[in-house]
């Protein structure tokens, strides 16, 4: 285990000396640990040149596995701590940016009043990572965009409200009651990255409408796209939660057709114990969801 601690420390700090300081050991001791790890694995993890170590591609691959192992260990420690302190003393959750940047932070004050002794660990991650953590039983619940590809957790739909167009207030399309793919031809468009669920859904909507999908900018986060709209860079399709929680007078929200659903699921790992605090937080989120969706233009 100490070999992996040394390896991880070097990868995270970038140098053997910094890793040694982090571990409270001498630099030669850390170097010996790295040598022993390479001998045990039978691979070269670092190229050594003039006193410096440069990670090989194998080292980067190994780091991914080591991080997963450390995450699992942290989860085990957290589980034991929750048992010792009472199961409702801590909630570990992983939430996609659309809900983790504004939506959940804005309701945590109300949650705190009802559960003053419960700590909330709010990890904001992309959906693929949330699925991974839920499958590994590392969180109490996750919020990710469907469709989902892994197992090991129960799934319930939280929302399927549609994406909505965010348009600079003085743009010619800002006063429209509804817009579609054809309206976006010839105007700067801020799109979702092609590997995201939203990017694939939007591209499909354009193809179905016979409109070329040609974006000027791409991003993976609604809040980033929204900020670009505020700066009058272009038009974006954003999730309804970001649209309402970050509402700005520089932006008009206009329904988009065809409807592109923002499918959000709640992921509950199967081996995590029942937790009344988690249930209370999810109930509060459902109430806030209903309020936000009622405020959207139709």
- 72 within domain boundaries: no
Report pLDDT for 87: 47
One domain for residues 239 and 281 = no
One domain for residues 174 and 201 = yes
**DSSP state letters, 141-162:** EEEEESS----SEEEEEEE-PB
**Which residues of the chain fall below pLDDT 70?**
51, 76, 78-88
CB 67 within 8 Å of CB 132: no
One domain for residues 226 and 177 = yes
User: Judging by beta carbons within 10 Å of its beta carbon (0-12, 13-18, 19+), is residue 95 exposed, middle or buried?
Assistant: buried
- Cα separation, 199 vs 211, whole angstroms: 15
Report pLDDT for 151: 83
Range 120-155 burial, b when 16+ CB lie within 10 A, else e: beeebbbbbebbbbbbbbbbbbbbbbbebeeeebee
Report pLDDT for 293: 92
Report pLDDT for 86: 46
Here the tokens at position 14 are 């970038």
Report pLDDT for 74: 72
Task: Give the range of the structural domain holding residue 132, as residue numbers without chain letter.
Answer: 86-160+263-294
Task: Identify the residue whose tokens are 């929750």.
Answer: 82
- Cα separation, 121 vs 278, whole angstroms: 12
The CATH number of residue 61's host domain is 1.10.10.10
One domain for residues 138 and 280 = yes
Count of domains forming the chain:
3
């Amino acid at each position: 285990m100490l070999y992996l601690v040394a390896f991880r420390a070097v990868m995270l700090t970038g140098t053997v000396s910094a890793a040694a300081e982090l571990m409270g050991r001498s630099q030669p001791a850390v170097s010996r640990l790295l040598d022993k790890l390479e001998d045990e694995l039978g691979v070269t993890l670092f190229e050594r040149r003039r006193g410096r170590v440069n990670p090989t591609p194998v080292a980067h691959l190994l780091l991914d596995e080591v991080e997963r192992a450390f995450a699992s260990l942290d989860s085990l420690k957290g589980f034991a701590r929750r048992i010792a302190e009472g199961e409702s003393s801590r909630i570990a959750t992983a939430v996609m940016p659309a809900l983790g940047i504004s939506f959940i932070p804005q309701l945590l004050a109300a949650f705190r009043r009802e559960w003053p002794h419960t700590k909330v660990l709010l990890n904001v991650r992309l959906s693929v990572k949330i699925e991974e953590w839920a499958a590994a039983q590392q969180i109490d619940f996750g919020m990710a965009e469907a469709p989902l590809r892994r197992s090991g957790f129960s799934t319930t739909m939280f929302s399927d409200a549609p994406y909505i167009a965010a348009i600079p207030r003085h743009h010619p399309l800002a006063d429209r009651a509804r817009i579609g793919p054809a309206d976006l031809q010839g105007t700067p468009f801020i799109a979702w990255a092609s590997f995201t669920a939203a990017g694939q859904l939007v591209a499909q909507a354009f193809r179905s409408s016979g409109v070329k999908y040609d974006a000027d900018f791409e991003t993976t986060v609604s809040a980033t796209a929204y900020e670009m709209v505020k700066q009058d860079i272009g038009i974006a399709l954003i999730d309804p939660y970001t649209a309402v929680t970050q509402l700005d007078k520089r932006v008009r929200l206009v329904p988009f057709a065809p409807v592109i659903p923002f499918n959000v699921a709640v992921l509950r790992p199967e081996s995590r114990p029942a937790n009344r605090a988690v249930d209370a937080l999810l109930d509060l989120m459902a109430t806030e969801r209903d309020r936000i969706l009622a405020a959207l233009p139709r």
